[in-house]
Structure 1
Amino acid sequence: MYLGLNANLIGWAMASSGIYRNNHPQRIYLNNQPRCRSFMNSLRGRDFKAAAGASQTGGGEGDANQFLIPGATIATIVMLGVLHARRLYEDKKMEEAREKGIELEFLPDMKATFLKMVPLRSISRAWGLVTAVELPVWLRPFIYRSWARAFHSNISEAAQPLEEYASLREFFVRTLKEGSRPLDQDPKCLVSPVDGIILRVGQLKGPGAMIEQVKGFSYSALSLLGSRSVLPISDSQEVLAEQYEQKQVRRNLNQRSWWRVSWIAPKVRKENLAAPIMGLFYCVLYLGPGEYHRVHSPVDWQVMHRRHFSGRLLPVNERAARTIRNLHVENERVVLEGKWSEGFLAIAAVGATNVGSIELPIEPELKTNRPKLSLFHTEPPNERMYGNKDAGLMIKKGQEVAVFNMGSTVVLVFQAPSANAFQYDDVNSELEQSSSPGFRFLIKNGDRVRMGQAIGRW
């Protein structure tokens, strides 16, 4: 029902607002702005009778339409109401489950099958046209405050007055006032790249390196990042731990033998030069429609590769995650991959319904959600290498790396020091056990975070 209403409203909006009559590359302008002013004057109780008399005596269809709001504005207002009601219902269900301590499990339904038959990519492009419509200056605060109330946006943090945002799109991707998001400067912490809700955090274990989408269903990290990813998947820690136990006796004997030999022929024992023991971790963050829509770097790192996967645009809210298999893998996404001080790092910006446009400040020419002739949603990703083979593009902690036109999902996959882990000592060709506390998450599933807040430390 929601999708049908969405499609009908968008079609009506494009037809009635005259958006095809203007070929401006950046903005789409509303026609018939005098009609909007007449309508607002009638609402304020001024000139109502005069306007009514003009519509009767002036004759014609043009005068009768002077009280109509342009279709794009009506579509926007109705859409706000529908989205707000739907959000309140889903939030209530989720809050009730959390209060009862219930962790909802994966339960597929017919919604996924239905959604895959709906042309969500085309609908999302049409919604993008609607949000690009330039609104009358006097109407902007009303529309933006309505959106903020519906989705709990803090408009007081906006860098500019509301009247300065010419369209809904400009309002969605607004920047914030300086100092609104203080950045944790601790070099041994990883900060949240976005404002949002923590859906899942954990450590990648086992040969499959699985990311948990929701309790009861997981997907492979390689399926998200791409088969050509340099994700450092190693033997599972369980196997290494078993090998470690088997070598304890031989290690003790070797240590005693070393002390006996050292009395006869003293020598300098080699230090343990094995690389720090690393684990693979992941963090999935959901950005709601009312959140700050810009993605920032969680650490200082070098971006080496970019992959753009042209997929579906299914919704990515919590309910969708519980009912649609491989949600983040099937959707359109842009993956940035590189390295930081502790090893591998990848950021996946996942698109969603009405969020087909993902922009990269480091690559402005990249265009997502383009029309395509192929009937298949799976196709090889478009790839690009930044810099050269050894050095990529340097990105600082807190620097902007991506922009969503509405809420969506960001997935972090990264290496970090692991506590109580096992790894081979390259010098002695033996297993070593970590004695450091290792990386630990400072947040848990369901927590709300802000960009710049520390989400992990070691």
Structure 2
Amino acid sequence: MIWDAAFRLLTELSSRPTLARLTGTAAKSRGSRLLLSKFARFYGIDISEAEKQLHEYESLNEFFTRRLRTGARPIDPGENSVVSPVDGTVIETGEIQAGKLLPVKGQTYSAAELLGGSPHASRYERGTFAVIYLSPSNYHRIHSPVDGTVIEWDRIPGKVYPVNDRGMRLMPQVLSRNARLVTYINHEAGVLALVKVGAMNVSSIRYIPDDGPPATVHKGDELALFEFGSTVVLLMEKDTFIPSPAFAAGAPVRMGERIGEIAQHG
């Protein structure tokens, strides 16, 4: 299709980090606060969940990366539960076979490429993956899905292609070509990889605090934030994760809700 080819060309031309930085600068300016009401209304954002009143935010970026009021996202209390790290929509979930994630929007991804060539990639053979997309309407902080210890984290440079439906269908290997942050969390049954994938006009994916995640995390703890819509990929080792029946492609998820449980052995 000629329009698909044009979309790919324009995306390639506009997917440089410089554009993301310029967009980020504009979103952080005080002038951008004039857009807050229109932005919230256009995307149907529930302002009552926000930590502050709309007029208290100094910029569009500050509102976009807002915290929520206490209690807005209860964390599932189950002893063995795994919770969603973000608000979003499940794009795909399934088994990793021969080092590959099952087709995501018609494209097959290598776990090794997604993890930037990390030796950890072999851990996830026959394990479970899940891809969750965050639209501009979603809450954009990323939290730990489990209790555990952070054993390693990587910052992988890359492009800033769009990760919306059209971008993931038409642009090749978006999830493994975009800039990423990867956090490896050792929990009671294995090591989980939490991959934060940047997107077009994302000026930053930031850890909280900026110098990296804490050594020990609890389910629901803040780990990072996106400064625009993006995607999270979860990788779980074989026989360590039992997904909830409702955790399937197309399902909406909210941070803190149960998406499955850690498998118990012995």
Q: TM-score, normalised by structure 2?
A: 0.89
Q: Which residue of 2 aligns with 1:167?
A: 59
How do 1:299-314 and structure 2 match up within 5 A? Answer: 299-314=146-161
1:414 to 236, 242, 265: 236
How do 1:240-319 and structure 2 match up within 5 A? Answer: 280-319=127-166
**How many angstroms apart in 2 are the aligned matches of 1:160 and 1:234?**
40
Q: Which residue of 2 aligns with 1:209?
A: 100
Name the SS of the counterpart of 1:146 in structure 2.
helix
Tell me which amino acid in the other structure corresponds to 2:147: D
Tell me which amino acid in the other structure corresponds to 1:446: G
Using the TM superposition, give the Cα deviation of residue 451 of structure 1 relative to its aligned residue in structure 2, in angstroms.
0.3
Using the TM superposition, give the Cα deviation of residue 300 of structure 1 relative to its aligned residue in structure 2, in angstroms.
0.7
Q: Which residue of 2 aligns with 1:248?
A: none
Contact 1:310 1:331 in 2 (8 A): yes
Using the TM superposition, give the Cα deviation of residue 226 of structure 1 relative to its aligned residue in structure 2, in angstroms.
2.3
**How many angstroms apart in 2 are the aligned matches of 1:304 and 1:111?**
40
Larger Rg: 1
Tell me which amino acid in the other structure corresponds to 2:259: I
Using the TM superposition, give the Cα deviation of residue 145 of structure 1 relative to its aligned residue in structure 2, in angstroms.
2.4
1:355 to 191, 202, 221: 202
Name the SS of the counterpart of 1:219 in structure 2.
strand
**How many angstroms apart in 2 are the aligned matches of 1:217 and 1:405?**
26
Name the SS of the counterpart of 2:71 in structure 1.
coil
Tell me which amino acid in the other structure corresponds to 2:56: E
Compared CA separation, residues 306 and 158, structure 1 to 2 (3 A): same
Q: Which residue of 1 aligns with 2:119?
A: 229
Which stretches of structure 1, 4 residues or more, deviate above 4 A after TM superposition? none
Contact 2:93 2:131 in 1 (8 A): yes
Deviation sequence 1:345-381 (CA, Å, 0-9, x none): 111111111113011014x147xxxxxxxxxxxxxxx
Q: Which residue of 2 aligns with 1:272?
A: none
Deviation sequence 1:226-257 (CA, Å, 0-9, x none): 2223234487xxxxxxxxxxxxxxxxxxxxxx
Contact 1:416 1:439 in 2 (8 A): no
Contact 1:232 1:344 in 2 (8 A): no
Tell me which amino acid in the other structure corresponds to 1:357: S
How do 1:25-424 and structure 2 match up within 5 A? Answer: 109-118=5-14, 120-135=16-31, 140=33, 143-205=35-97, 207-214=98-105, 216-233=106-123, 280-362=127-209, 364-365=210-211, 393-415=215-237, 417=239
Q: Which residue of 1 aligns with 2:242?
A: 439
Compared CA separation, residues 234 and 166, structure 1 to 2 (3 A): closer
Unaligned runs of 5+ in 2: none
Contact 1:355 1:404 in 2 (8 A): yes
**How many angstroms apart in 1 are the aligned matches of 2:227 and 2:243?**
32
Identity of aligned residues (%): 34
**How many angstroms apart in 1 are the aligned matches of 2:253 and 2:197?**
18
**How many angstroms apart in 1 are the aligned matches of 2:124 and 2:16?**
38
Tell me which amino acid in the other structure corresponds to 2:258: A
Q: Which has the higher helix share?
A: 1
Name the SS of the counterpart of 2:119 in structure 1.
coil
Contact 2:45 2:138 in 1 (8 A): yes
Using the TM superposition, give the Cα deviation of residue 211 of structure 1 relative to its aligned residue in structure 2, in angstroms.
4.3
Does the alignment pair 1:455 with 2:255? Answer: no
Name the SS of the counterpart of 1:222 in structure 2.
helix
Tell me which amino acid in the other structure corresponds to 1:165: Y
Contact 2:156 2:181 in 1 (8 A): yes
Using the TM superposition, give the Cα deviation of residue 281 of structure 1 relative to its aligned residue in structure 2, in angstroms.
0.6
Name the SS of the counterpart of 1:111 in structure 2.
helix
Tell me which amino acid in the other structure corresponds to 2:73: R
Compared CA separation, residues 222 and 311, structure 1 to 2 (3 A): same
Unaligned runs of 5+ in 1: 1-107, 236-278, 367-385, 387-391, 419-437
Using the TM superposition, give the Cα deviation of residue 208 of structure 1 relative to its aligned residue in structure 2, in angstroms.
2.4
Tell me which amino acid in the other structure corresponds to 2:36: Y
Using the TM superposition, give the Cα deviation of residue 121 of structure 1 relative to its aligned residue in structure 2, in angstroms.
1.6
Contact 2:192 2:236 in 1 (8 A): yes
Matched positions, count: 258
Contact 1:361 1:400 in 2 (8 A): yes
Deviation sequence 1:394-429 (CA, Å, 0-9, x none): 1110000011111110111012536xxxxxxxxxxx
Tell me which amino acid in the other structure corresponds to 2:8: A
Q: TM-score, normalised by structure 1?
A: 0.53
**How many angstroms apart in 2 are the aligned matches of 1:204 and 1:197?**
20
Using the TM superposition, give the Cα deviation of residue 171 of structure 1 relative to its aligned residue in structure 2, in angstroms.
0.6
Compared CA separation, residues 321 and 178, structure 1 to 2 (3 A): same
Using the TM superposition, give the Cα deviation of residue 209 of structure 1 relative to its aligned residue in structure 2, in angstroms.
3.3
Tell me which amino acid in the other structure corresponds to 1:132: K
Using the TM superposition, give the Cα deviation of residue 179 of structure 1 relative to its aligned residue in structure 2, in angstroms.
0.5
Q: Which stretch has the larger CA shift, 164-173 or 439-448?
A: 439-448
